[in-house]
Amino acid sequence: MKKSAIVALGIGAAVTAGVVKYKQLENMDMIERCQKGSRYFTRAISRLHEGLPHPPVDCEDEKAVGEELCRRDYVTTISKKNVWRSGYAQRSIVPEDIATRKYCIAGNTRLPANYAKGVLDDVRVRVLTLDDNSGRGTIVLCCVDCIGLSNKNVRKIRNMLADFSKENNISYINISSTHTHSSIDTMGIWGELLTVLSNNRKHITKGEGQLLDSCDNEYMAFLCEKICEAVREATLNMCEGKLYESYMGKSTMQGITEDSSLQERGLYGYVWDRREPYDCSTQLLRLRFVPTDKAKKETILLNFSAHPYINSMKERNKGTGDMISGDFVYSLGDYFERNDYNFIFFNGAVAAVYPTRLYSNRLDLQSQARAVGEEIGRIALAMTATKAEIERSPGLNPTSYEVESGVFANGQISQYKRWIEAKGEQVVEEKEIKPLLNLIVDKAPLKVDNPIFYMVAKYRIGAYTILSGEGGEYSSFTEVGLLELGDKRRVAFVPGELEPAVLSGSQAVGKDESFSKTEFSSVPLKISAEDEDLTVFGLTNDAIGYIIPDNDFSMMFLGTGKVMKKLFGNHYLEIFSFGKNTAVSIADAFRGICERIKGEK
């Protein structure tokens, strides 16, 4: 999500009018200032939904979720019959009528709505199925080139595939989003919001008339069917093979320098954090499935943390931000497909983490996104190759890359060549993963205390399920999971954009670096998992927005100008979070899963 979306809510002027004078704020300490600003901010937003009825107290969907979650048995022993089986499929999710029908692009709100003017490159759904042949069923790992899919839509897709799942022993379907900011809106909050707000307020107040749905239901039906098609194909074309993993980087940048080892540095230099206290994961996880049948393609799964946002920006003579694009994810896929691999990408702890905009002083936006995908794709293969192997390979040799790209001249050097030079003789080990697959998923209750989401609920905006209690409190629910591959690799399934500190335990979750000067109220994910190398699949099985630790949470946003940043810090992420306790709920649910596993080992 982008901070510019606040404009669509029409609250900028209302909040500004209510803020106390600059000099009064300047004389307060940061905590008092943010608390006061937050009260004004909340009060201003609340006025926009005064007089509207609360959303439902409960719903059948909520009651069903607990029964729908993965009930796959947890095991630790590998029998002789265990062997990896996997399948792959993909589909384009660009509608055929893209040139003749209006489609809103998600990620950056504009007034009027940002309608797609064309297609820069493809957006897709990609599916990888995995089974350890233990008889406990197949796990579906699906990722969609979109801004996000709510749990409501994830459950709809599972229901569409219910008969197929039973017939083919699918134990659980997981659906993630790449979070590309230049895809068609799948959440219902990047369309004609002002029209929807005006219409729905009038009809809700009168108790009659037709409410407008901010979701493009025609496109969503098309998308859901494409996802189902890909799941069916990937399941039916499964074959036996071996699974390997390669991993480098750390869940925090703290302590990493140019002189750190390759294993520690990972994608250092390719990712950065825009939210103070600055920190992000440099992890890069590569899974490689190698079919026993050599006539079949290998499949590469990549996982790292970065917003696919470059092509969503609007910059003079460089990009218009109104074209459909998979961003760097498309270029990653294109690189691997040119090298005869299947490919799928899962984003990580991506809260305010962005890719470095490579060569932005001389490349247009599309070329920058392509450079990010091309270079990280090469890194993902080069990390396990020797220096000699890299030099011999046209697809990995940095000089060959620079010639092929055609954008380096007069002694200019690519970031990729610098990365290869720093790598030197270091090689990341590729390890075979034993054929053992475990997945535990649990329901996480959510307290909704963001007044913006009160407004979303009351105006019936978007694809969220937000409920009200008898005392006026608001709530929702989501899913959290833990995937285990073999006896080593663990992946946390997180339903939104996770602040990296909630994974790593560094920076923002500590009292010294948080704005409140207190500790995080729960336990960081890697501590719960007792795994320094725990990775995250973000925006998985839901898209609940930002997941910010409670001790660094301040519901106050008036822009990112120098004065506002000085007064209140950089807290625009909070306006797109369900609330202060979201990270605590997610971390607590994950800790519960980890404790359950300890009891079953």
3-class SS string, 444-478: EEEEECCHHHHHHHHCCCCCCCCEECCCCCEEEEE
What phi and psi, each to the nearest 5 degrees, are found at residue 206?
Answer: -80, -20
Distance CA 110, CA 192 (A): 9
What pLDDT score was predicted for residue 563? 74
Distance CA 170, CA 225 (A): 18
Q: How many residues in the chain?
A: 601
3-class SS string, 48-94: CCCCCCCCCCCCHHHHHHHHHCCCCCCCCCCCCCCCEEEEEEEEECC
What pLDDT score was predicted for residue 1? 43
Are 38 and 515 within 8 A, CB to CB? Answer: no
Does the predicted model carry a pTM greater than 0.85?
yes
What pLDDT score was predicted for residue 26? 67
Burial status of residue 29 (CB atoms within 10 A of its CB: 0-12, 13-18, 19 or more): exposed
What pLDDT score was predicted for residue 34? 81
Distance CA 213, CA 211 (A): 6
Are 299 and 342 within 8 A, CB to CB? Answer: yes
What pLDDT score was predicted for residue 557? 73
pLDDT digits (tens, 9 = 90+) for 508-517: 999 999 888 9
What pLDDT score was predicted for residue 559? 66
Residue 417: in which H helix or E strand, if any? helix 415-423
Are 104 and 148 within 8 A, CB to CB? Answer: no
3-class SS string, 242-305: EEEEEEECCCCCCCCCCCCCHHHHCCECCEEECCCCCCCCCCEEEEEEEECCCCCCEEEEEEEC
What pLDDT score was predicted for residue 8? 42
What pLDDT score was predicted for residue 57? 75
**Is 190 strand, coil or helix?**
coil
What pLDDT score was predicted for residue 16? 44
What's the sign of the alpha-carbon dihedral 111, 117, 122, 123? Answer: positive
What pLDDT score was predicted for residue 500? 97
What pLDDT score was predicted for residue 186? 97
User: Taking the mean position of all CA atoms in its chain, how far away is CA 554?
Assistant: 22
What pLDDT score was predicted for residue 540? 98
The residues of the chain scoring below 70 in pLDDT are 1-26, 58, 60-67, 558-560, 601
User: Could you tell me the residue ranges of all domains in the chain?
Assistant: 3-64+438-600
Concatenate the DSSP letters of all residues of 552-571 into one string: G-----S-SSHHHHHHH-S-
Amino acid 493 reads: F
Q: Which residues pair with 139 in a beta bridge?
A: 130, 172
